[in-house]
Each structure stands twice: as C-alpha cells, then as structure tokens.
Amino acid sequence: MGLTVTEKIIKEHLVVGEMKRGKEIGIKIDQTLTQDSTGTMAYLQFEALGIDRVETKKSLAYIDHNLLQTGPENADDHLYIQSIAKKYGIYYSKAGNGICHQVHLERFGVPGETLLGSDSHTPTCGGVGMLAIGAGGLDVAVAMAGGEYYITMPYIVKVELKGKLRTGVSAKDIILEVLRRYKVKGGLNKVFEYAGEGIKYLTVPERATITNMGAELGSTTSIFPSDEETYRFLKAQGRGRDFTPIEADFDAHYDEVIIIDLDKLEPLIACPHSPDRVVPVSSLNRIKVNQVAIGSCTNSSYMDLMKVAKILEGKTIGEEVSLVISPGSKQVLNMLAQNGALAKLISAGARILESGCGPCIGMGQSPNTDGVSLRTFNRNFKGRSGTPSAKVYLVSPETAAVSALTGYITNPEEYVKDINITMPEKFLINDNLIISPAEKGEDVEIVRGPNIKPFPRNKAMDETIGGKVLIKVGDDITTDHIMPSNAKLLPYRSNIPYLSNYCLIPCDKDFPKRAREFGGGIILAGHNYGQGSSREHAALVPLYLGIKAVIAKSFARIHRQNLINNGILPLIFEKEEDYGRIDVLDELLIKKVLTQMKGNKIIVKNISKDEEYVLLLDVTERQRNILKSGGLLNYIKARSSH
C-alpha cells in the first residue's frame, strides 16, 4: 500500500517505534524555531541540558511577540536570547524582522524536513510541505540538543479540495470551513493532509494560512504536498535549491476523507469567543465594527496585504472604525513600501504597526469596552485581545478590508468583483536582520538581565499524592486562561514567581492565593483542557504553585505533554459524571501512586466525601518514567548519567 505525504516524511525521520496509528513514535527533528515569549524559557532549559552546540540542521530564535518596550524587561529578554543564539549555534531573527512563522516560511522552510517550534502555529510551514509541529519549550530544547521528538503516530485526514475559489472567498474561508466541521477538539492526534485539484490554485502563502490555523483543530499538524507551486514559491524566495517534490502515492490510505467544494464555499466568519463558532458572513446582518485588525501569522503575507491595499485604494475607512495593519515580515513591509501599496493603506486611514504579533497576543491595540473587533487572526478567545468584554470575530483579509470601509460586518462578495493579485516572480530578499551564530561559542558571554529568573524544577514523584481541589473549571479552558498573556504580563515570561500571581485568574481571581494558602493541590477541569497556545508557562506556573495533578475530562495535546514534561499528573475521568461529584476544596488522595502507575487506572479517594473514583492515566512507558522522575529534564539527566 502507498504512503501519504505525512507518512513519507515520518518514515524518513523515524528513530523510535513503528508507524502504527495511535502508537508512540520518536522522530528526528531537522529544524527548530522559538519565539521570544516561549523562547527565554526554552533557552534556560536548553542551558540546563549542558550541551555545547545545537545539533539540528538549522535552529532559529525569533523576536516577534514582546515588541512593546514599556520597561526594560522585553529588551533584556531579547539580549539574553541573542547571546544564547550566538553562543550555541542558533540564527537570531531580530525584532522588526517579522513573525516567526511568516519569516520561517519565506526563508527557511524546506519540503520533506521536520520542524519543531515552541509555538502552536508552527504548522504554518506545512504550507511548503514540511512536517511542522508545535511543542513546549522543553521539547524544543531537547530537539536542539539532538534528541528525538515523540508524538502519537497520527491518524491522517485527507482534505480534498475540489474546484476553485470565487473572487472574495479565500484560503481563510477554507480553514474556517474545516473548523466548522471538526471544531476545536476534532483534530486530536490527527494530521490534516490537503489534496485534490483545488490545491494547484493555492499559492504557498495561501496554503500556509490553512496549515497555520489548522492548529485550532487541536491537530498534530496540517500539510500540503510539495509540488510545482511549492517550487515557484521557493524559487521566488531565491531558494529553488531547497525544493523536493513530495506527493501522496495514488493508493495511499487515509483514515478519514472530507471534500470541500471550493466553487460553492462562501466567506465565513468565526464568532466570539472560539475559532470554531463559524457561520457565513452573509448570515450576520449589519453588525457595527469598532476595530479591524489585519495581520498575524495567519494572514499577513505580501499577497494578503496587496489584496487589502487594492480594496482600500482611493477610499477612506469608516468614520468609527480603527484599522490596524501589522505586516508579517520585513520582506512584506519592504515590498509594500517599494511598490506604493503602503501609501495606499496609509491614505485610506490604516494605522501601520511594525512587523510582529502585536494585537494578536494583546500587545497593544486592545479594542474599546464591549467593542466589536474584526481580525484576520487565528484566535478569538475571550480576553486575548486585552479587553475582556470585546467581541472578536475572525475573518479573511477581504472581509476585514471591506468591513473597514463600510463600518459593518460585510460580505466581500457584494463589493469585490476583481482583485487579481498574483504571487511575484521574485520576492525582495534581504536577510540583514538575521544574525548568524559565532563560529565558536566558548567566548560568547550570556547576557542575563534582572528579569531572567530560574525556572521551577519538580522532584521525583512521591508515593502519595494529595491535596485540595483548588479550582473547578469547565470545558475548553485555554492556555490563555491558565497563564494569561497580555501587554502587562508578557514581559515577565522569564519570571515565573511574578507570573504566578496571575495563574487562572480569568477563571477564578483567588486561585493563586488559594494555591499558596494550601501549599498546592489539584486542578479539576472539563474537556479539552489547555487548548490554544503551546506556552509551557501554563504548566510551569502551576508547578511553581504546587499543583500535583490535573484531573480533566480530556486534554489538549501540547498542554498535556507540557504537564508530563513538568512532572504533573494528567488524569482523565473514567466516568465523566464523577466530575460533578467533586467540589472545590474537597480533599483528594492518591495512595501508592507509583505502584498504581504500573497500570493505567488510578484510584483517587475523595476524603471530604468518602468516595472513590477511577481515573485513567493514558501515557506511554516513556511518559510514565518522565512523570516518575519529576519531569523531562530530570529524566534526561538521569539517563545521560547512566
């Protein structure tokens, strides 16, 4: 039987295990990327591994998240990362060079290679036929040190694209359609592999919009084949030499197949506060818009912004609309500046931000109280914009631009008849903001500002685990809830003690205080706990507060791994109804946990209610040992000392 694109790349990189669906495998990682928000911690962990030089083909450290400098903290972090990069053999992309995923796609993505990034939208590079996966910082640190990365051998969903998109309908609408069908937890342990005649009409940046936002499905990753279109993109980036064709065999086996008829697709919109609350734009009647934000790693490519410039050309944005645009990279911004499109955007009234994440992560441009913000981004979780009462909708650049003009959520098909933007034959190439590492790292001094604090380390697991239930939360709690990230907190990414004052406060403002008062305890959660960003802080901060276990109905993939990497037990209810029997401040006790962990069922006693529940510990042998060791770092250290 033939192989899918995903299987072909996994087969080339398989180090541990067999390619059997649902089983754990270890794969070799060719490239890594970090961004500053998760990077400082990843590099502190890399230092703790005691390796002299990265062992990947290429590793990149980007600065794109924390660009607001309202104090010295961000600038200190940037210097720390820059010095680490120089010392250990990592390329450093300076602030202003752009968003990690956009720049990586432009300058470094290679078809057929593997990429591990400490950011959940790393799958963006799947647009160029790379197996690109988001992970916690420690996993990325281990990959930089030459260690394999472990995943569950994924189930593969074929997304067959038929026909061609109509004018006004875009790649964003394709991924919104997939989210409408699969929802935010529908992609667990799955890879979404795109195929069909429709893909040949999609440029690599359009494909990357789709693979980027595939992260919202909770999937392992998303990927396109590497074909003529991939070659055209790489050649235009001056990297034709990086091209390798990869397509699925005609008799490849897929676990699921879905078909999207592009001719029939219409502009879609994700309503507050989840990327899967997708409806047709045409079904929302005249909702007034206060803010339009165009950019982010999902929709900030040259072609995206050229479309926006064309729609806005010679016009003025609505009187009550604030339009902000953050180009995805220096390359994009530079090209818009050179061809005059930037002037058109400015003329129409757009506020131009620097090339970075900006409003996507709440770093500036928070909407007004109760405001409606229309964004081309990938996430609209409550409060992520920095304004808890804001209603954030996710749309394509076309819908965003047209709505910025009318002042209402508007179907672009009504206004846009022809926006024929083609991919340039040659992009503007200038890598002067990418700093190469030192030939020899020994003499490079690491710069550690006062904001760089040690990170918490767990100890080997005790025979008895217990404590009070400190909080009880519902379904779909995001890492933004667990460890909020906004303009106020992002500068403290390398300062866990400071961040611990804000853990889970969007759910319960007294949680940090309670956790301290009881010396730690247990978190109780519903389905899909920890969805969203890859941020490891959502495990490190609870660890710092003494959390021993999280008991949930189900977990999101990356967060579950981050809990394991930090020695926190991720337990699942065997009977979901038991969730309803446990209350906040109930005292739970797990006796003989090390013995119980030999199997996959763990009995927990609720001392307050004199009841017992059966919990499932769904882990591999390797993960079991990581948990027993008190986390991945202890596990690796113990292995290397043997």
Nearer CB in complex with ligand F3S: 297/503: 297
Least distance to ligand F3S from the beta carbon of 124, Å?
Answer: 8
Among 60, 297, 547, 636, binds ligand F3S (CB under 6 A): 297
Shortest spacing between CB 375 and ligand F3S, in angstroms:
10
CB nearer ligand F3S, residue 7 or residue 304? 304
Shortest approach of ligand F3S to residue 469 CB, angstroms? 32
Least spacing, CB of residue 294 vs ligand F3S, in Å: 12
The nearer residue to ligand F3S, 170 or 385, going by C-beta atoms, is 385
DSSP assignments along 365-414, one per residue: -PPPTT-EEEESSS---TTTTS-TT-EEEE--HHHHHHHHHHSB---GGG
The DSSP code for 529 is B
The footprint of ligand F3S on this chain (CB under 6 A) covers a number of residues equal to 13
Query: Whose Cβ is closer to ligand F3S: residue 217's or residue 568's?
Result: 217
Q: Does 626 bind ligand F3S (CB under 6 A)?
A: no
Least distance CB 511 / ligand F3S (angstroms): 24
Residues 6 or more apart in contact with residue 591 via CB below 8 angstroms:
463, 464, 603, 605
Is the CB of 198 or the CB of 386 nearer to ligand F3S?
Answer: 386
Rounded least distance, CB 486 to ligand F3S, Å: 11
Which residue, 93 or 378, has its beta carbon nearer to ligand F3S? 378
State the minimum distance, in angstroms, from the CB of residue 119 to ligand F3S: 5
Q: Does 65 bind ligand F3S (CB under 6 A)?
A: yes
CA distances from 182 to 156, 190, 418 (A): 14, 11, 31
Structure tokens at 500: 């611990």
When the beta carbons of 298 and 411 are compared against ligand F3S, the nearer one is 298
Q: Which are the contacts of 599, defined by CB distance < 8 A and separation ≥ 6? A: none
Q: Show contacts with ligand F3S in window 335-374 (CB under 6 A).
A: 357, 360-361
Shortest distance (Å) from residue 130 CB to ligand F3S: 16
Distance CA 130, CA 607 (A): 50
Decide whether 64 or 206 has the Cβ nearer to ligand F3S: 64
Contact with ligand F3S (CB under 6 A) among 7, 36, 77, 119: 119
CB nearer to ligand F3S: give 212 or 290: 212
Q: Interface residues for ligand F3S in 541-600 (CB under 6 A)?
A: none
Report which of 590, 585, 609 is spatially closest to residue 601, judged by C-alpha positions. 590
Shortest distance in whole angstroms from residue 116 CB to ligand F3S: 15
Judge whether 118 and 216 are in contact, CB under 8 Å: no
* Residue 637 to residues 147, 544, 631, Cα–Cα distance (Å): 12, 21, 10
Which tokens go with 150? Answer: 């472990």
378 in contact with ligand F3S (CB under 6 A): yes
Between 99 and 465, whose beta carbon lies closer to ligand F3S? 99
Contact status, residue 4 vs residue 223, Cβ threshold 8 Å: no
Q: Which is nearer to ligand F3S, 103 or 617 (CB)?
A: 103
**In b/e form, how buried is each residue of 158-171, taking b as 16+ CB within 10 angstroms?**
bbbbeeebeebbbb
**DSSP labels for 226-284?**
B-HHHHHHHHHTT-GGG---B---TTB--SEEEEEEGGG---EEEPTT-TT-EEEGGGS
Q: Output the smallest distance, CB 215 to ligand F3S, in A.
A: 8
Overall size of the chain counted in residues: 642
CB atoms within 10 A of CB 317: 21
- Is 43 within 8 Å of 81 (Cβ atoms)? yes
Name the residue with tokens 């394509």.
Answer: 396
State the nearest-atom distance from the C-beta of 477 to ligand F3S, in Å: 18
Q: How far is the CB of 360 from ligand F3S (least distance, A)?
A: 3
**Do the Cβ atoms of 223 and 129 come closer than 8 Å?**
yes
**Nearest CA-CA partner of 358 in 390, 316, 386, 394:** 386
Binding mask 253-292 for ligand F3S (x = CB under 6 A): ----------------------------------------
Q: How far is the CB of 257 from ligand F3S (least distance, A)?
A: 29
- Encoded one letter per residue, x for contact with ligand F3S by CB under 6 A and - for no contact, window 74-113 reads -------------------------xxx------------
CA distance 274 to 410: 20
Residue with smaller CB distance to ligand F3S, 118 or 220: 118
Cα angle 131, 563, 642; round to 5: 85
Q: Which of residues 187-216 bind ligand F3S (CB under 6 A)?
A: none
Contact between 547 and 521 (Cβ < 8 Å): yes
Query: Which residue, 472 or 535, is less far from ligand F3S as judged by CB?
Result: 535
- Cβ closer to ligand F3S: 101 or 391? 101
Q: Is 121 a residue that touches ligand F3S (CB under 6 A)?
A: yes
Phi-psi region of 482 (alpha: psi -120 to 50; beta: other; left: phi over 0): alpha
Q: Is 375 in the site for ligand F3S (CB under 6 A)?
A: no
What's the DSSP call for residue 288? B
User: Please, what is the minimum distance in Å from the beta carbon of residue 552 to ligand F3S?
Assistant: 24
- Helix or strand (DSSP H, E) at 521: strand 521-524
Q: Are 362 and 486 in contact (CB under 8 A)?
A: yes
Question: What kind and span of H or E run contains 469?
Answer: strand 465-472
Site string for ligand F3S, 210-249 (x = CB under 6 A): ----------------------------------------
Q: Which of 170, 296, 451, 562 binds ligand F3S (CB under 6 A)?
A: 296
To ligand F3S, the closest distance from the beta carbon of 309 in angstroms equals 20
Question: Any contact of residue 494 with ligand F3S (CB under 6 A)?
Answer: no
State phi, psi for 136 to the nearest 5 degrees.
-75, 160
* Pick 355 or 629: Cβ nearer ligand F3S: 355
For 416, list phi and psi in degrees, rounded to 5. -100, 115
Within 8 A by CB and 6+ apart from 582, the residues are 469, 472, 524, 551, 588, 606, 609, 613
Tell whether residue 535 is a contact of ligand F3S (CB under 6 A).
no
Binding site for ligand F3S (CB under 6 A): 64-65, 99-101, 119, 121, 296-297, 357, 360-361, 378
